[in-house]
A and B are shown apart, each in its own frame.
Chain A
Amino acid sequence: MNSPRVLPTDRELSDPEVVARILSGDVEAFGIVIRRYESGLLRYATRMLGHPDAAADAVAEGLVRAYRHLASCRDPARLKSWLYRIVGNRCRSHLARRSASDISLEDAPPLPDPSDTEAAAERAEQLALVQRALETISPEKREAFVLKHVEGLSYEEMAEATGERIPTLKMRVHRARAALLEALKEEP
């Protein structure tokens, strides 16, 4: 008896396979890209912008833009870095607009959910403290620290995501660590 034909799951499809499906007209396959990278991109944008609504806007705009320009992703095996680059650009645009309208980064610090347990509330408080410290350092250093130590990108992936050279990024990460450590000392 023949074995039943096993259809590929999301996890079995490589990024280039998913990209090929989308480019061949399978719009729904873009859902795989979203499921695969949405959480990390939202976290990255939230750390960069400090405001969950602005982060959601940046990621949604970035993902729609990625879909529209998917054909220009020259190396689908590096889709992840490409998506971080697009969302990073959206974050920079949001920061530039925010700077122009002089709105504080601290207008909406993350708040613990009332239904959280004590431990979760403590984690939320710790996150708020570190996020405040993170927002005092420059966007370039913030981006370097988050990509390296929160998103776990390699320096090669960071270079693809930012367009910067690896030695520049290493120096920026080193300075970001020092700046963040200093900022954490000044937090109450």
Chain B
Amino acid sequence: MSYDDADLFEYLLRLGDTDVVMAQRLGEWIGHGPILEEDIALANVGLDLLGQGRLWLQYAGEVETRFRGSGRTEDQLAFLRDGSGFRNLLLAEQPNGDFAQTTARQFYFDVWHVLLLRALSSSLDQRIAEIAAKAVKEATYHAERSTGWVLRLGDGTDESHARMQSALDALWMYTGEMFAADPLEATLVVARVAADVRPLREPWLAAIRNVLDEATLALPQGEWMQGAGMRGGKQGVHSEHLGHLLTEMQFLQRAYPGAVW
């Protein structure tokens, strides 16, 4: 099977949009963190993801130029696309909720992200491999941090335990999409450009289970997964939350097109 630049462009949007949307969510915590150290940590993790998202979207714009004659810049892609044009994971756009919910979202994502980036760092597409090799070092710190919080909250007070468990349960149905590959992604996997996310489920599950065991938390049992078929965030079918997120994120460029400072 062969792929073309339009496929590659789509795939890069999936990588970039997930990072950018996640970064925007984390940025919403600034000034609202439970303690100063965590306010700073949430912002820093968001900043790393924003930086990674920029690298993916810059590359996406270059690829778009190759097959369309003119490609969009990272800013045009981030600020001037409508919700249905976004290709991020549904998990990334879920609201912050309380600190436990943000922690659960981050924990599920970070462990997956480390596995994904490790796999991508041997992509035959050199640019993808280079971005992934840089990003995985950052993602490892993110995973270490979110793991630490799952342990502290799970094995903490009755209140923190209950909130952590409830957050893990609530977001569980968004984790299936992380391991689903549609035909577009499968084509890029055969070409060894994309990472095959399907075999990542086992090591991910093992890591999650280990941490939850130690945190005295139960592994959620639900089997029904949102967007795990071929109609999820990666195909541009989103939950209601993305539109609200973009309204804030894109406001300035929509109201004052091309504004710079």
Do A and B interact with each other, yes or no?
no
Residue numbers of A with Cβ under 8 A of B are none
Residue numbers of B with Cβ under 8 A of A are none
